[in-house]
Amino acid sequence: MQASQIAPFFAILQAANPHPQTELHYSSTFELLTAVLLSAQATDVSVNKATRWLFPVANTPQAMLALGQEGLEGYIKTIGLYRSKARHLLATCRILLERHGGEVPRTRQELEQLPGVGRKTANVVLNVAFGEPTMAVDTHIFRVGNRTGLAAGKTPLAVEQQLLKRVPAAYAVGAHHWLILLGRYVCQARKPRCWECAVAAYCDYQPKTPAP
């Protein structure tokens, strides 16, 4: 993708979805952090099904700790890796209470010190909760970045760095959501739906099969 094509690419995505939002359900920054932590190697749909029952019971670090390991596992056992995620989440709750007054920190360094929180999770929280122009590169964004030519890279970090350089400032905050949704519903892994892609004219990818 040529540099001159990037702004029109995002302008189209913005016009179709002016106020993009995460598909994870949450009503507080702590709930968002919890949902993102649980979403590693899991779908947003599966996380939402679990948190629909978890959050009415435990939506603060104190309440989450009160559940204990076994109690928390009971709410999230339908999510992959639920045992380790429960351990990480409870350890995170302890740190939030001991070091941050029960609040979710606003810096990358502090977020990445929380158990189970890596660079991608921190980027999501910084972007969604605090409006920072970060690029949380998941499998969808990694694929879209490479396939379209927008941000080529062999690792998620390389793609993230390219996005930070190439995405115009006017689109930086929403870019994470637009690219995820594009990858989730249109630019899919096995069979990209190029024939219904609104930004196909700016994409480097050449479909190998005709539209159905």
Closest CA to 195 of 184, 208, 177: 208
Q: How many CA atoms lie within 13 A of 15 on its CB side?
A: 8
| Catalytic status, residue 138 | yes
The catalytic residue among 44, 49, 120, 154 is 120
Q: Is 120 annotated in the active site? A: yes
Provide the residue type at 104 as one letter: V
Of 36, 28, 80, 74, the closest CA to residue 54 belongs to 74
Residue in the structure block whose two tokens are 């994409």: 203
Looking at 138, 165, 191, 208, which residue is catalytic?
A: 138
Closest C-alpha to 118, from 109, 105, 131: 109
Can you tell me which residue has the tokens 């539209």? Answer: 211
Catalytic residues: 120, 138
